[in-house]
Structures are given as C-alpha cells and as structure tokens.
C-alpha cells in the first residue's frame, strides 16, 4: 500500500488499469495490535549483534561502489537528482528514490544512466543480503552476479573497480582461504593433496548465533524455575521473521547449527569445484595424436 502514496495519482491509475470502480480501505491491523499490547505491555530487550570484521569491510566496499555509481549518475543528471544526497546512498530504497526522481525524464536519459540505476538497486540489495544470508550463500550469490554482469548487454562497469575486487575477495575469505604457498615442496604437496589447496572458514551469521544464545538462556531460566519448585510457563518461544525464505533457513540452522554450513559448503564444492579424474601416464600405453578436424 505504501507504493500508492508516492508519485502522482498512482492509485487512480492502478484502479483504471484494473477496471476497478469501487475502493474499500480497511483499517490497519497495527491499531488492534497496539491496543492489545497496551493492556499487557511486554518487557523489551533490544540486542544489537556486532558484525564480523569481514562483514564490516564488505559493507564498506559496497558503500564505496554505491557512492561512485551515484556520483557518476548525478554528474549526468544533476538537475533531476538535486534532492538526493550522498548520505541517502546507504538506504535500501535508494533505487526507488532515484527512479522516482528520474521518472519525468526517464525516457530521455541515456542507456548508461539506466544501467547505473539498475546497478544501484543491485548494490543496495547486496547490503540487505549481507545481513540476511549465510557466508556460503552470499559468496555464491556474488559469483552468479559476476557471471551475469561481467559480459554481454548486462555488463556493469563497477565490476572492474578495486572496491569490487575487495568485495569478492572478502566474501570468499568468509567461506574459505587458500593455503599459503611458502614452505617445503613436500609439505605443500601434502596440503594440496589432503585439503585441495583450501581450508574452510565458514563464518557464522552473528545474529543467528545470538538467537541460539537467547534460546539457550530461555531454556536455562525454565530449568531454574523447575529447580525452585515454581510452576514454569509453557516452554514456548516465538521467532518472527520477515519472509518464508528466512523461516526455512532458520528452521534448518536451529536444527543443526554446526552441520548447516557444512552442508552448504559441500553443496558449493559439488556445484563449483567438481573433482575430475586425474591423468596418470602409462608407459605401456600408446597415445596417438589427435586428428585435426
């Protein structure tokens, strides 16, 4: 419903397009919720889990790319984007703000400017996915994004920047690190043979780990109430998430916190690093040259 507030006669245009003549507006359910909660006010404890050092660096790299893309877009369309400041670049609705500002002249701006608007939406979405996805899924999303945006009609120039290189490198280091290349050859060969040349890191999402700590704290409080012969409440904890994808992820993660990322890691290896049969030279076998086609 909030989408109909912005713009000029959006609701009327939507009703005319859908051939709807009667509009019924129901009161917001927030009023009933606020009324019920006001009778029994809950005790609210807000927890702010800090991001890991790699997540902070990734967020900084994304912010630098967004700022560069917006500066280039504003230099080409300065009159239409005067109300949007560089501080607005870190908000998730940046693409919507830019599109709304460019709407009167969107059919007259260049294709490069339109591509920059799409890139701003992609980069703003990365800021959200950094906080919502696990490290393996985020790295996989970046690989798919690089494959789609590196060539063809959908090519993005920001992929060639240094901040983009830092973004991909830091996202990879949250999942795995390559083994050092210094040392005796025998040791290096042994590492490459046993571990495939990489060592998994599998960095946890901080807020998921915090959720487990909160659930364990609730369980400990219930056990204390049982020991004190007090009547404990029903052991029930309600976790509210924003969408079904987050629900499915948390359902699997809470069932097996340690094995969840391991399963993701194995799936990633099967998909992107499939092992091939090694070539072994046989002196007794002849290897005729391949015929030229």
Residue 47: the pLDDT is: 92
Residue 279 pLDDT class (50, 70, 90 cuts): very low
Give the number of domains in the chain.
Answer: 3
Q: Which residues of 136-157 are buried (b: 16+ CB within 10 A; e: fewer)?
A: bbbbbbbbebeeebeeeeeebe
User: Do 176 and 258 fall into the same domain?
Assistant: no
* Chosen domain end from 152, 185, 218: 185
- Provide the pLDDT for residue 13: 81
Do 20 and 76 share a structural domain? no
168 in a domain, yes or no?
yes
Question: Are 15 and 115 in a shared domain?
Answer: no
Q: Are residues 147 and 66 in the same domain?
A: yes
pLDDT value at 293 more than 50: no
Residue carrying structure tokens 């092992």: 275
Name the pairing type of β-strands 198-200 and 176-178.
antiparallel
Nearest of 272, 146, 264, 164 to residue 205 by alpha carbon: 264
Domain holding 216, by residue range, is 206-271
Residue 281 within a domain: no
Same domain, 71 and 156: yes
Is 65 among the domain residues?
yes
Task: Give CA–CA dist 265/271, Å, rounded.
Answer: 10
Q: Which residues contact 142 (CB under 8 A, 6 or more apart)?
A: 126, 167, 168, 171
Q: Per the domain annotation, does 190 fall within a domain?
A: no
Domain-embedded: residue 125: yes
Whether residue 202 is predicted with pLDDT greater than 60 in this model: the reply is yes
Domain's final residue, options 153, 185, 217: 185
230 Cβ contact partners less than 8 Å away, ≥ 6 residues apart: none
> Are residues 74 and 143 part of one domain?
yes
Q: Are 124 and 92 in contact (CB under 8 A)?
A: yes
> For residues 183, 184, 187 and 189, what is the CA-based torsion angle, rounded to 10 degrees?
100
Structure pTM? 0.76
Question: Which residues lie across from 200 on neighbouring strands?
Answer: 176
pLDDT at site 85: 72
Q: Assess contact for 123 and 60: CB atoms under 8 A.
A: no
pLDDT for residue 275: 47
Both 100 and 211 in one domain: the answer is: no
Q: Are residues 91 and 137 in the same domain?
A: yes
Examine residue 170 and state whether it is found in any structural domain, yes or no: yes
Query: Is 145 found in the same domain as 112?
Result: yes
- Shared domain check, 66 and 34: no
Is residue 150 within 8 A of residue 31, CB to CB? The reply is: no
Q: How confident is the model at residue 284 (pLDDT cuts 50, 70, 90)?
A: low
Asked if 117 and 219 sit in the same domain, the reply is no
pLDDT given for residue 268 in this prediction: 86
The answer as to whether 72 is a domain residue is yes
Within a domain: 133: yes
| Domain co-membership, 29 together with 126 | no
Of residues 21 and 185, which shows the higher confidence score? 21
């Amino acid at each position: 419903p909030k989408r109909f507030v912005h713009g000029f006669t959006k609701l009327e245009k939507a009703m005319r397009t859908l051939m709807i003549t009667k509009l019924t507006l129901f009161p917001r359910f927030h009023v009933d919720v606020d009324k019920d909660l006001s009778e029994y006010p809950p005790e609210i404890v807000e927890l702010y889990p800090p991001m890991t050092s790699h997540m902070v660096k990734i967020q900084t790299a994304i912010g630098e790319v967004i700022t560069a893309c917006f500066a280039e877009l504003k230099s080409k369309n300065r009159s239409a984007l005067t109300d949007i400041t560089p501080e607005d670049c870190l908000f998730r609705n940046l693409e919507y703000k830019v599109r709304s500002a460019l709407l009167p002249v969107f059919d007259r701006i260049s294709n490069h400017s339109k591509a920059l608007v799409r890139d701003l939406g992609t980069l703003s979405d990365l800021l959200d996915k950094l906080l919502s996805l696990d490290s393996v899924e985020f790295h996989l999303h970046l690989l798919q994004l690089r494959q789609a945006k590196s060539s063809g009609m959908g090519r993005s120039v920001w992929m060639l920047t240094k901040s983009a290189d830092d973004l991909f490198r830091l996202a990879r280091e949250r999942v795995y690190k390559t083994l050092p290349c210094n040392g005796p050859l025998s040791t290096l060969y042994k590492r490459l043979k046993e571990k495939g040349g990489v060592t998994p890191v599998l960095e946890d999402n901080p807020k998921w780990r915090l959720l487990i700590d909160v659930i364990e704290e609730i369980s400990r409080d219930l056990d204390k109430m049982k020991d004190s012969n007090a009547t404990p409440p029903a052991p029930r904890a309600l976790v509210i998430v924003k969408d079904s994808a987050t629900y499915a992820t948390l359902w699997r993660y809470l069932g097996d916190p340690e094995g969840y990322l391991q399963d993701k890691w194995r799936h990633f290896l099967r998909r992107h690093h499939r092992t091939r049969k090694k070539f072994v030279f046989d002196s007794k076998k002849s290897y005729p040259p391949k015929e030229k086609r």
